[in-house]
Amino acid sequence: HSGAEYDAWLVNIMEGDQFSSGFVSANPNSKIPALMDHSTNPPTRVFESGSILLYLSEKFDAFLPKDPRKRTEALSWLFWQMGSAPYLGGGFGHFYAYAPIKIEYAIDRFAMEVKRELDVLDKRLADNEFMAGDEYSIADMAIWPWYGALASGVVYDAGEFLQVHEYENVQRWTKQIAERPAVKRGRMVNRTFGKPETQLRERHDASDFDTRTQDKLDPEGSS
């Protein structure tokens, strides 16, 4: 997008980078992601993913419907993601995949909630191409990394357990968005796992996608 050049810095949360004074100045809550817009004077800090998406959408006049009804629908689904995703990640994901002991009640409780959320999405997508209707928007951008990954069976290794194949409309939407060229590029940024050619650990120029992926920086290590 014209004017949307950016630097993407890798923040290593396992080493506590998010607690450094520099990062805390961008997000006082010490969580990723965070954004500093240096095109304003003074620079504008933006934290929380929903706020970042809304800020960029309004700044570049993109990915948010102009029609008031559709715009409101998009924002409702954007905030739906912020309220629902903790049940998926911190709830189901933690107790199903990461907790040191398996607590049947907790797993079942959050699994049923996640399946309910998938059903909500499936019903919405039954009659709509995207979350806001016929326009791809920041609502899709917010929801897809969580629920698209879940529908693909790639997170928590829980696809069979949750029977994600049953949510046919979510499956269609997940695959459709995955094929968008910008989504493919965006998934490479700050990535430290997977195939080396898909890892662009830091992004500072559009040409980095062609010249600075991990396979090019470390050809011996990627062989």
pLDDT tens-digit map of 192-204: 999 999 999 999 9
Q: What pLDDT, in 10s, does the model give residues 31-81?
A: 999 999 999 999 999 999 999 999 999 999 999 999 999 999 999 999 999
At 220 the pLDDT is 75
Asked if residue 98 and residue 144 are part of one domain, the reply reads: yes
Residue 77 in any domain: the answer is: yes
Tell me the pLDDT band of 219, cut-offs 50, 70 and 90: confident
Asked if residue 85 and residue 130 are part of one domain, the reply reads: yes
Q: For 25, which DSSP code? A: T
Residue 52 in any domain: the answer is: no
Q: Do residues 47 and 82 make contact, with C-beta atoms less than 8 angstroms apart?
A: no
Residue 1 in any domain: the answer is: no
At 222 the pLDDT is 56
122: containing domain = 68-179
Tell me the DSSP string of 99-137: -SS--HHHHHHHHHHHHHHHHHHHHHHHS-SBTTBSS--
Look at the pTM and tell me if it is higher than 0.95: no
Whether the pLDDT of residue 149 is over 80: the answer is yes
Q: What pLDDT, in 10s, does the model give residues 126-145?
A: 999 999 999 999 999 999 99
